[in-house]
């Protein structure tokens, strides 16, 4: 029998009591017994013995003044240990294959390296992209969707100097976009949670890129979907954009981002 088989025999009382812990986690704030029991789908009289046992284990605690219940020190310790063992890149590597199959586009994972946004994983699709993209490629900070995600969500002290150097280097004395225009572009990326490239910097190639955050609310990597314009719907609300965001948001939640 596989580990993912939902028909495996378990201990029903643990599963029932676990609904109380789940309700506290979802609510995210201390709760009165009646409200907690209602959210867990049981009468208060049934919920109370579970809470007493969870309290003895340190999974929950009750405020003696308000009577409200909240997650206890053991629950916090368990969460911190889980976060310490979470490997964002390992989790992302598992997910990009499924994402690539779902949208049938090339998927790339990038992290912030010594030289900027650096590709570390690639999942190729059935539609070839005629661009020299490989592990170790450093993406333009302002000229690509991947780079703009990092420029938007990393602290400005990390990216601003690099971005201005890139502008001067690429324009070589010619007029380049004013910095206020760049800032407006990055603000739009933050608002949407998504960066887009349509035919730029490579004609005929479209891309979306989205950030993955950890429990400290810091960006840890970006996932980029890219493909030929003829097969890649670049509308902000396209199935490709929605699937990419669903993947990155799920990964962020796994890493403790709230």
Query: Any bridge partners for residue 211, and if so which?
Result: 222
pLDDT tens-digit series, residues 196-237: 999 887 888 999 999 999 988 999 999 999 999 889 999 999
Fold of 86-254: Beta-Lactamase (3.30.450)
Q: Can you give the pLDDT at residue 144?
A: 93
User: Hey, which of 3-17, 103-117, 155-169 has the most confident mean pLDDT?
Assistant: 103-117
pTM reported for the whole predicted model: 0.67
Residue 66: what pLDDT?
Answer: 93
Q: Which two tokens stand for residue 206?
A: 């479209």
Same fold, 12-84 and 86-254: no
Please report, for the chain, the start and end positions of each structural domain, with discontinuous segments joined by +: 12-84, 86-254
Task: Supply the angle between the helices 88-103 and 239-254 in degrees, to the nearest 10.
Answer: 160
Q: How is the chain split among helix, strand and coil, in percent rounded to 5?
A: 45, 20, 35
For residue 173, is pLDDT > 60?
no
Q: HSE on the CB side for 170, CA within 13 Å? A: 13
Topology annotation, domain 12-84: Arc Repressor Mutant, subunit A (1.10.10)
Q: Could you tell me which residues are beta bridge partners of residue 31?
A: 69
Residue-wise DSSP of 187-207? HHHHHHT-EEEES-SSTTEEE
Determine the average pLDDT of the residues in 81-93.
Answer: 71
CA distance 48 to 254: 30
The gap between the terminal CA atoms of the chain, to the nearest Å, is 35
Please name the residue that has the structure tokens 């030289």: 115
Query: CB of 134 within 8 A of CB of 239?
Result: no
């Amino acid at each position: 029998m596989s580990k993912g088989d939902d028909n495996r025999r378990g201990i029903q009382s643990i599963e029932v009591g676990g609904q109380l812990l789940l309700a506290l986690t979802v609510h995210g704030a201390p709760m009165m017994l009646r409200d907690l029991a209602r959210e867990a789908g049981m009468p208060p009289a049934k919920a109370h013995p579970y809470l007493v046992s969870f309290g003895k284990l340190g999974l929950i605690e009750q405020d003696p003044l308000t009577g409200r219940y909240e997650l206890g020190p053991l629950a916090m310790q368990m969460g911190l240990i889980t976060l310490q063992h979470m490997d964002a890149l390992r989790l992302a590597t598992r997910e990009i294959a499924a994402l690539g199959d779902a949208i049938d586009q090339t998927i790339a994972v990038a992290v912030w390296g010594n030289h900027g946004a650096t590709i570390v994983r690639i999942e190729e699709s059935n539609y070839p992209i005629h661009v020299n993209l490989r592990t170790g490629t450093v993406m333009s900070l302002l000229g690509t969707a991947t780079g703009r995600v990092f420029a938007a969500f990393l602290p400005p002290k990390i990216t601003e100097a690099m971005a201005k150097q890139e502008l001067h280097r690429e324009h070589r004395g010619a007029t380049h976009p004013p910095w206020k225009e760049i800032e407006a572009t990055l603000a739009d990326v933050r608002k949407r949670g998504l960066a887009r490239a349509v035919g730029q910097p490579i004609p005929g190639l479209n891309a979306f890129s989205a950030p993955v955050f950890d429990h400290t609310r810091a960006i840890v990597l970006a996932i980029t979907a890219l493909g030929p314009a003829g097969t890649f719907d670049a509308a902000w609300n396209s199935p490709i954009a929605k699937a990419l965001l669903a993947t990155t948001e799920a990964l962020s939640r796994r890493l403790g981002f709230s």
